[in-house]
Amino acid sequence: MKKYNYLLALITASLLGLTSCIEGNDKPGDGGDDNSSVKITSNITTNTTWETGKTYVLGGRIAVTSGVTLTIQPGVVVKGEVGSGANATALIIARGAKIMAEGTSSQPIIFTSVADEIMPGQVASPNMDPTLEGLWGGLIVLGKAKGSFAGDITETQIEGIPASDINGLYGGNDDADNSGVLKYISIRHGGANIGEGNEINGLTLGGVGSGTVIENVEVVANQDDGIEWFGGTVSVKNALIWNSGDDALDTDQAWAGTLDNFIVICGVNTDHALEIDGPEGSYNAGHTVKNGSVKGHPNSEFGDFRAGARGAFSNIYFFNFPAPSDNNNAGKGDLSLSGDATIANFANGVLTFSKLEATLAAGVTLDQAFRNGTSAHASTVAAKANTVGADKAAFANWTWAAAANALADFK
């Protein structure tokens, strides 16, 4: 309770300290001698640039509308106001719009809460704990690529956005669609709840096409999933998820891209490191997930592959998970296949695993940790003796996790 009272005080102080307020697109504020903070209160409908050295405050659910490009320069800080339900703040890149957010390793772009006192030029928050979640929404990018939807419809509404908001539509037939560039971005303290069991992910990718470039992304303390893909063909390189509230990495609706080089650090509320779902309609596609290192938590599971999951998963190292045979951790500490369709896909080579390694709790066997025959593709190793996994050097300098020494246990 003390933590949340303190948090409310921080939020109030942040709200009082805003230096400018604008309606819609980016214009100079009226903050006297200090115009470094700009408030955004309506959708972005013309090409707009958010400038290095400034902080932009989302005053609600802000969409970059179709045909419009939002450019975010290196080092920009974007803060979401507190809110839930219809008042949850988020930045939506609508289908047909683009975001050009190209940070650098020395100047990452940071998305966070107004309670965060971080300023442009900083990487670690000066006042926030990396476990505080659900303080604003998140970043949502939507595109025109295919997805496998129930009823074989070609478009649908993204979760986390009310059905009344047409900027939440995604899907189509353009697998090469280009929604822009995301490089060196850190998304923190998001996942606001807009309804019963309906939270916003840190980074949501709905029907995003292969023309989009996403590299070097960190998601910290999101109340729902870290990154979730809904169909599409976009690939992601160098992703770090720390303290997600539900699943770290979640795939749905026949996403057909590649995730290459990733680190997951499970937190007290992380359910699955990997939650992999299959197609919902007749369109079938699989994805590739490779070169990852996953640090578990006593409350977490390696991965749950379900609902006809398909794809190729290789060179992944798991450690620090509980013993799955412990009755107090039922359903935790293992990799499992759920449902006849998923098991059949594994048997038929539609779902594949190779070069999985794990450092297991004392007394745990490979068959206990890797269920449904997946142990044939796994091996045990001593701590830090793994021969597969992520290259953690990709996350040095620009991530909060590196600044907080949260990567010390990774090889």
Q: Where are the domains of the chain?
A: 2-403
Give the C-alpha separation, 364 to 76, whole Å.
46
pLDDT value of residue 159: 87
Contact 232, 145 (CB under 8 A): yes
pLDDT value of residue 84: 74
In this structure, the strands spanning 77-80 and 55-58 are: parallel
- Give me the residue label for tokens 């037939």: 173
Query: Residue 138 contacts by C-beta under 8 Å, 6 or more apart in sequence?
Result: 90, 91, 111, 160, 187, 190, 191, 192, 200, 201, 202, 203, 204, 222
Give the C-alpha separation, 402 to 239, whole Å.
13
pLDDT value of residue 85: 76
Distance, CA of 394 to chain centre: 17
Contact 22, 41 (CB under 8 A): yes
pLDDT value of residue 325: 63
Question: Which residue, 316, 94, 101, 120, is CA-closest to 215?
Answer: 101
Residue type, 235: S
Contact 84, 161 (CB under 8 A): no
CA-to-CA dists, residue 290 to 235, 306, 365, angstroms: 12, 19, 23
CA-to-CA dists, residue 165 to 73, 138, 161, 271, 366, angstroms: 28, 16, 7, 30, 47
Give the C-alpha separation, 346 to 342, whole Å.
6
Query: Residue 52 contacts by C-beta under 8 Å, 6 or more apart in sequence?
Result: 73, 74, 75, 76, 107, 120
In this structure, the strands spanning 69-72 and 48-50 are: parallel
Give the C-alpha separation, 327 to 130, whole Å.
30
Give the C-alpha separation, 114 to 95, whole Å.
27
What is the CB neighbour count within 10 angstroms for residue 126? 9
Any alpha helices (H) in 277-339, and if so which ranges? none
pLDDT value of residue 4: 39
What's 360's DSSP letter? P
In this structure, the strands spanning 301-306 and 335-338 are: parallel
SS3 356: strand
What is the CB neighbour count within 10 angstroms for residue 25? 16
pLDDT value of residue 20: 38
Low-confidence ranges of the chain (pLDDT < 70): 1-35, 195-197, 325-330
What pLDDT digit, counting tens, does each position of 171-230 carry? Answer: 999 999 999 999 999 999 999 987 656 779 999 999 999 999 999 999 999 999 999 999
| DSSP string for residues in 303-340 | EEEESS--EEEEEEEEESPPPTT-GGGTT-SSEEEESH
Give the C-alpha separation, 315 to 260, whole Å.
10
Contact 148, 121 (CB under 8 A): no
Give the C-alpha separation, 83 to 136, whole Å.
6
What pLDDT digit, counting tens, does each position of 103-134 carry? Answer: 999 999 999 999 999 999 999 999 999 999 99
